[in-house]
Structure 1
């Protein structure tokens, strides 16, 4: 389709825009055609108006002084000048359009297809020009997606091989507990054709060992794969309970949730018949999400050890907001509760029939779901003398997610990586505070960082590459959409709760001394996104400023465009 000029409604002149102002404009002549127009650093830009992740309106996004615009929902970030992806979880770039003034109006130049599409695949077609170079990635989750996408965006010329024990291509795992999706194709990030076009080999197999000296991985099927760079992104293994009735093989209808097969098994056990009694053990985000999803058709009880859901991470007041949200949807809670055992159903001694709490309470259960956390999936490395696992089973890495002692040839990302966090509250005098974070965005952003490191290390020492900073972000569906950024790596000692918490509309500032180390929001977007950007640049207001009434959304915004 030929490039054409299209007049924009809602704006008559560049002079109508103030610095860093954003305006979503209708495109004349294209039904439902819209673009985002913004002024940055003296120039006017026109780009697609919706985030390529979940379609958030970028007019509510955050513009940063270093030329980034960040989605108001989940932290996806784009380069204003090019539209390229800067940070996860955006799979595609934004389309950019020439924008100019003519005859007393503002126009863009582009194709109707590009305007309607609203995004572009940054990996169009790749060929392997350096077959002697090969990146092998073990695992098929978010970290892997970050690695492969960024490698090809950066024109890595070597081979790329993914080895994953999961039988499907990379999926949006965040939707499993929120929406209980049973069809992998519906939440697959990329179709198989994309991998073929991007010259990425995908292998369904399980890695059983690594020879770090010979630079080769071995698999359960008996195959071996040489590498020049290795990325370990194996994710987590759901924890179980070492209690009577919960041990493997003792009772049926006790489930964990990690993959598509787990969702299929849970929904099969719940069945289409009368509402089932479901007990979810663990008031974690996974536990609350799956409990909330099942509560539409079944009787759900969530058992938690704390006084409020997620009390240790979120605090009692915020945890109680989650609890009230889910109770409105019919979920019951047993809190300050410990589990002692599970017993069989009278009608079927092979299947679970009840969960017994330590105080003597008996909860009838047709099925049980365990949401008690995950451990790093590193069992295949436990007997390997070339690496030393941390106490929790993770691998310690440097700021580039490179595993020390292996000549910058091996990287670890996601649930299995303990890396030096350098955000607010971290010990910067020690180069950062070691932390392991089980967030989708952290895995993907660390994967993107690894790709950048691999491409750089082809021509220069990795030590010469400044690490790219990112702030951890996660989101959850706990009766309403929760957004969270930062990490209280060394704890917090106070929570400032603003807004209308009684109506599940709030912003919570988690403070250690005067430093705001994390921010959570519900119904107050894009405060979280703005806070994450301020944290990344070291400009986040302190506790005293928050108490004195500073508006985080207006920090750094020119007076002329403040709301």
Structure 2
């Protein structure tokens, strides 16, 4: 039952527009709320992001009442507490503010003040003729199904996923090798039952777009009125001897069973681990395993890790961080094969480079990219796949040439209107992009004719220090403006194409990334020349108007 609780150390609501203040709640252990003033009104809400618990007092507050987490870009409406952007799923708790007798109070109950507010999308039973089917159980799927139910959709809602388990936070697989479904899953099983969301463990093998039917490996058929394809990516295997699945203890990392198999192979640690691939998955799993006292080597074809996306200057920083953690690098290298162990001809024993180097290995992890999981669509006449196997969509993620069909996540090539994009088609393999696309599709289904809400791609990575990144460099960049101390590290890297900043990466400089994303979203990011002259983006006001 709601009651009044006094806020400690605050006697009035005299705050400036745009000001945030975290305050303690009297009489409640660890009870804290955040006060934020927007358009003359003071709002009280939960003090921490519902994603990973970041303190929102350090976040970015815009003039139109968007509050963005300083860590991973989750965004909330100050007015309602509702989620605006991924990766948060649950809204912020909201409280009525009362000023009286020289003190300030909030109205609420103790449980909500301490534990926050869960997304309430309970649905006793589906109603009506609408049937939405979501193929795939990843980030895009969770964004779509929770966006649908949270937005008022009451029809049938079915997720068909070959992974065989409820949606998980896939980012935890490579960053922490988390192999426990109870810890990796976004929601308990009861959540989906209470929300009338059916999760089917099966693999889709075909779609009849004319009759609106989906067929599966188990011989089942499902009707739909709207179809959301969110099948994600299939990890690549190197087509080389010993590395194409022909030796044991050679792994890729995409799903929960992959993480479980790696953890089992590592055992009590102290193993010789060879990671092939120096992009994000490879670097994250290398850092994780090195932290567990394994002997880890990374093989990469570039001169420094992640050079293609992050550039040589920043890639060198990442390499240095992992080297401090004990990781050894073999860069500019080409793999020739893997050979079996001398004691067991079925198990990997070494990885051989083309220059003759042989690296002993108790296990090998391949992180050499993914391809869109669209094989089940390739022989369907109505479908035209792009050269990379993806599906081309419009701004609403509706698939070109198909009615009532959407594609999101790793399989979607969509028009990008962020900095440097100019509406050109692009495919982005980011967790946040998939989830935000799912939320966008849910809004389109719930509100026919509505305009899709723009978002800036965001990702993060655990590389000895937390990397934050927004924007996109797939369209190219010609320079990197580095600000800060790269040794700590505490820096911001601005990726520029001419005068335009197309992407921003930061370490130890929260919330520069989230501030950048909001400025990009509104077309107000400072130019390269301004940054070189010393402009600090944290001193740039974020306007209310969005121009993307």
**How far apart in 2 are the matches of 1:553 and 1:373?**
35
| 1:301 aligned residue (287, 297, 312) | 297
- Answer whether contact 2:518 2:542 (CA < 8 A) is retained: no
**How far apart in 2 are the matches of 1:126 and 1:156?**
13
The equivalent of 1:142 in structure 2 is 139
**How far apart in 2 are the matches of 1:535 and 1:517?**
8
| 1:339 aligned residue (297, 311, 335) | 335
**How far apart in 1 are the matches of 2:149 and 2:37?**
30
**Which residues of 2 match residues 461-480 of structure 1 at below 5 A?**
462=449, 465-480=450-465
Deviations 1:74-113 (A, max 9, x none): 0111111000011111110001101021011111111111
Gapped runs of 5+ residues in structure 2?
544-548
- Answer whether contact 2:174 2:281 (CA < 8 A) is retained: yes
- Asked if 1:318 is matched to 2:314, the reply is yes
**How far apart in 2 are the matches of 1:299 and 1:480?**
20
- Answer whether contact 1:12 1:106 (CA < 8 A) is retained: yes
Residue 545 of structure 1: how far off its partner (Å): 1.2
| 1:123 aligned residue (115, 121, 124) | 121
The equivalent of 2:152 in structure 1 is 155
Residue 510 of structure 1: how far off its partner (Å): 0.2
- Answer whether contact 2:301 2:331 (CA < 8 A) is retained: yes
**How far apart in 1 are the matches of 2:452 and 2:120?**
22
Residue 10 of structure 1: how far off its partner (Å): 2.8
Deviations 1:298-344 (A, max 9, x none): 10000000111001111111111111111111100000111111111
Residue 30 of structure 1: how far off its partner (Å): 1.3
**Which residues of 2 match residues 35-434 of structure 1 at below 5 A?**
35-125=33-123, 127-130=125-128, 132-248=129-245, 250-272=246-268, 275-295=270-290, 296-407=292-403, 409-427=404-422, 432-434=423-425
- Answer whether contact 1:426 1:489 (CA < 8 A) is retained: no
- Answer whether contact 1:126 1:152 (CA < 8 A) is retained: no
Q: Secondary structure at the match of 2:84?
A: strand
**Which residues of 2 match residues 453-532 of structure 1 at below 5 A?**
453-457=444-448, 462=449, 465-532=450-517
Equivalent residue pairs, number? 542
- Answer whether contact 1:506 1:523 (CA < 8 A) is retained: yes
- Answer whether contact 1:7 1:107 (CA < 8 A) is retained: yes
CA 1:154/1:368 → structure 2, altered by over 3 Å: closer, same or farther? same
Residue 556 of structure 1: how far off its partner (Å): 0.8
Deviations 1:48-86 (A, max 9, x none): 000000000010111112221111100111111000011
Taking structure 1 as the reference length, what is the TM-score of the superposition? 0.95
Residue 125 of structure 1: how far off its partner (Å): 4.0
Residue 247 of structure 1: how far off its partner (Å): 2.3
**How far apart in 2 are the matches of 1:162 and 1:422?**
30
**How far apart in 2 are the matches of 1:124 and 1:50?**
24
Deviations 1:278-306 (A, max 9, x none): 10000011001111111122100000001
- Answer whether contact 1:308 1:316 (CA < 8 A) is retained: yes
- Answer whether contact 1:433 1:489 (CA < 8 A) is retained: no
Deviations 1:165-215 (A, max 9, x none): 112110111000111111111111011111111111110000000000110
The equivalent of 2:23 in structure 1 is 25
**How far apart in 2 are the matches of 1:110 and 1:547?**
48
- Answer whether contact 2:77 2:84 (CA < 8 A) is retained: yes
**How far apart in 2 are the matches of 1:254 and 1:551?**
47
Gapped runs of 5+ residues in structure 1?
559-563
Deviations 1:385-441 (A, max 9, x none): 11111111110000000001112x0000000001001000112xxxx0111111110
Residue 127 of structure 1: how far off its partner (Å): 3.9
Residue 271 of structure 1: how far off its partner (Å): 2.2
Residue 348 of structure 1: how far off its partner (Å): 1.2
Q: Secondary structure at the match of 2:132?
A: strand
Residue 120 of structure 1: how far off its partner (Å): 2.6
Residue 129 of structure 1: how far off its partner (Å): 2.5
**How far apart in 1 are the matches of 2:474 and 2:346?**
43
**How far apart in 2 are the matches of 1:83 and 1:122?**
13
Taking structure 2 as the reference length, what is the TM-score of the superposition? 0.97
- Answer whether contact 1:49 1:118 (CA < 8 A) is retained: no
**How far apart in 1 are the matches of 2:83 and 2:45?**
13
Q: Secondary structure at the match of 1:503?
A: coil
- Asked if 1:13 is matched to 2:43, the reply is no
**How far apart in 1 are the matches of 2:437 and 2:178?**
26
The equivalent of 2:546 in structure 1 is none
**How far apart in 1 are the matches of 2:354 and 2:152?**
57
Residue 126 of structure 1: how far off its partner (Å): 5.2
**How far apart in 2 are the matches of 1:377 and 1:406?**
18
Deviations 1:462-494 (A, max 9, x none): 4xx222100000000001100000002420000
Deviations 1:261-291 (A, max 9, x none): 1111112222227x22110000011001111
**How far apart in 1 are the matches of 2:63 and 2:242?**
57
Residue 557 of structure 1: how far off its partner (Å): 6.6
**How far apart in 2 are the matches of 1:47 and 1:343?**
58
- Answer whether contact 1:425 1:489 (CA < 8 A) is retained: no
Q: Secondary structure at the match of 1:286?
A: helix
Residue 505 of structure 1: how far off its partner (Å): 1.3
Q: Secondary structure at the match of 1:402?
A: coil
Q: Secondary structure at the match of 1:234?
A: coil
